[in-house]
Structure formats: structure tokens, C-alpha cells
Amino acid sequence: MGIDVINDSHCHFFSAGFFTTLTRQRQLPDTAEDVCRELGWDPPGTPEALADRWVAELDAHGVTRAAIIASVPGDEESVGIAAARHPSRLVPFSMVDPSGDTPVDRVRRAVAELGVRAICLFPAMHHVPLGDERTMRVIESAVGEHSGVAVFVHCGVLTVGVRKRLNLASRFDLQLGDPLAVARLAMAFPTVPFVIPHFGAGRLREALMAADACPNIHFDTSSSNGWIRYTPGLTLRDVFAAALAVVGPRRLLFGTDSSFFPRGWQRAVYDQQKAIFSELGVSDEDQSLVFGGNFDRLFPISGGG
Ligand SMILES: [Zn+2]
């Protein structure tokens, strides 16, 4: 039994730009190297060098393609450079803050010039409701003339490990990450794929309701899904069983939430999820969709080789 292709729909691209943005938020003059030394992580170097490292890491684990998320607003250039260097391996996603400076222009450029394939919204982090006009404008500018751009919306509980490690305050408004608000957007943009990571990160029931109502809503399976502890007795196996029953195998995207080096690609997440699929008796064909096929369908390799 086997799945031929593994694609990871959720990795973070912790570029030098990412670290210097965190540094600025701490109001310290540290460089990316300083921050990485403090964290015990490898400094990323240039976007090209980090892209090469990612591809070597994917090779080491037999992973074909990965989405790489620019994980602070304004860092879309880093993932654009990385994906231009390895167009058949890396798929650029970018975090967008609809309350930031000229987000519409940024998004247009990110999509049209840098080849960004998904914009990532974190309403709880940016304090912009999903129904807000600013959110709508950002989505319109992303998907406008460029069919195929997806919208990723983080819902539920949100913790950013690196912010904790650096003692950066995270005043996230957790009320804003409601999957039912994603359903409203998904209905307004019925041809646009929406992705809710981590099964809604604690909002499983609402995420299932939203995806049941909207055929363009997908889930990514990424991370350790530690939110399951908010529902006593719930296991990750139960979560997969429910998602398969309600959403089906065509709208689940495998992901790990891998981010920094030297830790690299989070093989344990894959092993755990693969074991759950086997326990549930999911066919090889359906597993192939979740672990690779769905990602290739949503994010086909674009021109440039
Ligand atoms: Zn993540």
C-alpha cells in the first residue's frame, strides 16, 4: 500500500525579513542572526539560501512540494524569490494584514508579480473581522483577475510559539476566528478555494458546518492539533473520522506546520496522520488525495518549470 506523492500544504518560511520584523516589534536593534542565536535556531540567510535548504529538507523526507507561508505581513517578496527559484517544489503563500499599509496594492503585486498562490488571513491577530470591508477588498484584489488564488483563514485558537519565546505580547482577539464567518466569505466567492487550517483549531463543529455548507472550503490537517484537548475525550482519530464523513477526502490537505531549522520538516506529524488513516481503513486512493493530490489540484505547478 502506498501513496506516491507527499505534498505539505502548511510550512512557514521564516526568512530574515520575518525575524527582523519581530525584532522591530521588540524595539531592539537585533539582526535576524541575533534573534536566531537567542532562539537556538539556524539563521535563514538569504531567501535563496533558505529556499535551497527547504528543498534539500523536502528531498531528505521524500516530500514533493510544499506551501511556504510568508509569516509576517510584507514578507511576500521572500517567498516569491524562493518559489521562483524552485517553482516545481515551493508554493508561495503570504500573510496579509488588511489593516496594514496599502494592503490592496501589496496583494495585487504579490499575486501578479511574485506569484503568490494564497493569501493568509489571521483575523484574530490583525483585529480585522472577516466581514469587514477591508478584508473583502483584500480578497477581491487577490482573486480578482487571477483565478486559482486561494484564501487561507486561520480560525480558532492562535498561538505563535516564536512570539512566546521572544516575550512578544500577542493580544489576539480569538472571537474573530470563526469558521462560520469564513462560510459567509466562501459563499460570496464561490469559485475561490478557502482553506481553514488545523480543522478550525478548536472550532471543529463550526468548521464542519461551514465546510458542509460551502463546497469551496477545505481543511488543512497541519500541526499537532493540540486544540483537541479543549474537547474532553476527543482524539485526533475522531477528528479525522468526522472530517472524512462530513467534508470527504477531496477537501482535506495534509500539512505539518513545519517552520524553523534545524528542526526542519516535522516527520512525526506525517507519521501520526498516516497511522490514523490506516487505522480508519481509508483507501490508498483517498489517502493519495489528502497527502498530495488535492494540493496539486488546487495549486498546479505554474509556468517556469
Ligand atoms: Zn502555521
Q: What is the pLDDT of residues 7-57, one digit of tens each?
A: 999 999 999 999 999 988 888 888 899 999 999 999 999 999 999 999 999
- Dist. CA 93 → ligand 1 center (Å): 11
> What pTM does this model have?
0.96
- Dist. CA 238 → ligand 1 center (Å): 22
Residue (of 158, 35, 188) closest to 95 by Cα position: 158
Dihedral sign computed on CA atoms, order 53, 59, 62, 67: positive
Strand 90-96 and strand 194-196: the pairing is: unpaired
- Dist. CA 159 → ligand 1 center (Å): 9
Residue (of 121, 126, 96) closest to 110 by Cα position: 96
- Dist. CA 34 → ligand 1 center (Å): 23
Answer whether residue 304 shows pLDDT above 60. Answer: no
Answer whether residue 118 shows pLDDT above 90. Answer: yes
- Dist. CA 24 → ligand 1 center (Å): 21
Share of the chain above pLDDT 90, in %: 88
Q: Which distant-in-sequence residues (6+ apart) come within 8 Å of 149 by Cβ? A: 111, 116, 117, 118, 119, 142, 143, 192
Answer whether residue 191 shows pLDDT above 90. Answer: yes
Q: What is the pLDDT of residues 48-81, one digit of tens each?
A: 999 999 999 999 999 999 999 999 999 999 999 9
- Dist. CA 11 → ligand 1 center (Å): 7
- Dist. CA 85 → ligand 1 center (Å): 23
- Dist. CA 12 → ligand 1 center (Å): 6
| pLDDT band, very low/low/confident/very high, at 146 (cuts 50, 70, 90) | low
Quote the CA–CA distance of 76 and 58 in Å, as a whole number. Answer: 21
- Dist. CA 219 → ligand 1 center (Å): 13
H or E segment and range at residue 13:
strand 7-13
- Dist. CA 223 → ligand 1 center (Å): 7
**What is the model's pLDDT at position 3?**
73
- Dist. CA 88 → ligand 1 center (Å): 22
- Dist. CA 10 → ligand 1 center (Å): 6
Answer whether residue 297 shows pLDDT above 80. Answer: yes
Could you tell me the CA-to-CA distances from 83 to 39, 55, 262, 298 in Å, in that order?
Answer: 26, 10, 21, 16
- Dist. CA 158 → ligand 1 center (Å): 9
| pLDDT band, very low/low/confident/very high, at 1 (cuts 50, 70, 90) | low
Quote the CA–CA distance of 160 and 91 in Å, as a whole number. Answer: 22
**What is the model's pLDDT at position 68?**
98
- Dist. CA 101 → ligand 1 center (Å): 23
- Dist. CA 303 → ligand 1 center (Å): 27
Quote the CA–CA distance of 216 and 227 in Å, as a whole number. Answer: 24
**What is the model's pLDDT at position 305?**
37
Mean pLDDT of the chain: 95
Which one-letter DSSP state was computed for residue 258? B
Q: Which range among 30-34, 109-113, 130-134 shows the weakest confidence by mean pLDDT?
A: 30-34
**What is the model's pLDDT at position 2?**
66
**What is the model's pLDDT at position 185?**
97
Quote the CA–CA distance of 150 and 194 in Å, as a whole number. Answer: 6
Contact predicate 145/174, CB 8 Å = no
* Mean pLDDT score, 232-256: 98
* Mean pLDDT score, 261-272: 98
Quote the CA–CA distance of 143 and 192 in Å, as a whole number. Answer: 7
